[in-house]
Amino acid sequence: MEALALERKAEQNRELRERLAQLKKERNAIILAHYYQRDEIQEVADFRGDSFLLAQKAAQTDAEVIVFCGVHFMGESAKILAPNKTVLIPDERAGCPMADMVNVDGLRKVKAQYPNAKVVTYINSSAEIKAETDICCTSSNAVKVINSVDADEIIWVPDKNLGNYVQQHTDKKMIIWEGYCNTHDMLTVKDVVEMKAKYPEAQFVVHPECRPEVVEMGDFVGSTTAILDYCKQSDCKQFIVGTEDGTGYQLRLDSPDKEFYFATKFLVCPNMKVNNLKKLVKCLETMQPQVYVPPAVADKARASLERMLQVK
């Protein structure tokens, strides 16, 4: 029975992929997928990447329709950078708890307390927060962005763990918001110690969204893309991975001869996994749900994103 179910699933996915190819051509659409998406989504994407790469692709594409397979704030960023494009997301329920941890009123109060500070916002945030921001950043370029800002004080939102990491690489005073990524914050020192005992030859690669005491244990610390690049280029053959388990798709693709063990089974973002192949096809068939950002908000938010894209 199990073999038959798998066979049916494979046939269904084949039919969905064929329908998707047809719809992409009809709609002049491009599919962008974050590294944390399900394998079946990453397999059909035109571009896989982290928030930074996908923001660049959204800004540069000639396609008329952008299907953003990620969470809602990512679709918003694509719409902000490509306002004349139609931006779809397979499931509008794909939110981000960390992005919800900061609100406009709260941020404005902090800005009033520190009038000389500039606001640097992690791209994992809503369009409304980006509109209150001087410049955005991703985990890939956070340190470069902070050090590029012409101010001695930085209001950092919303991720305290990434903020703590960045603070170690700048002389600027950082006022750090108390948000965090639910998924990365689950990883504990105990988890890593147990995995290191189980795989003593493995290197521990970790995302700076994890807790500071966990990040300190890393043999390599970096963004999702940096972790992928490091593992691909390293001579090491075993890795304990301290980031979302969707990265396993690209890790195995890049290095089929290496072994990857996720530091805990809980490194799964339920919001990222809401999207699937069936929903992806349906959103192109119906051209819904579309991402909408009010023009006044988009104009302000665009400036903060474009400043980020200009940082080299």
Which positions make up the binding site?
A: 34, 51, 96, 122-124, 139, 181, 207-209, 224, 269
Phi-psi map region of 94: left, alpha, beta (phi>0 left; psi -120 to 50 alpha): beta
Can you say which residues are annotated as belonging to the binding site for [4Fe-4S] cluster? 96, 181, 269
Q: Kindly list the distances between the CA atom of residue 193 and the CA atoms of 162, 214, 224, 259, in Å, as whole numbers in the listed order.
A: 22, 10, 22, 18
Give the torsion sign (CA, 166, 180, 68, 277). positive
Phi, psi dihedral angles at 32 (to 5 degrees): -110, 130
Q: Distance between CA 238 and CA 71 in Å, rounded?
A: 30
* Contacts of 124 by beta carbon, 8 Å cutoff, 6+ apart: 51, 73, 96, 98, 99, 158, 159, 181
Can you say which residues are annotated as belonging to the binding site for iminosuccinate? 34, 51, 122-124, 139, 207-209, 224
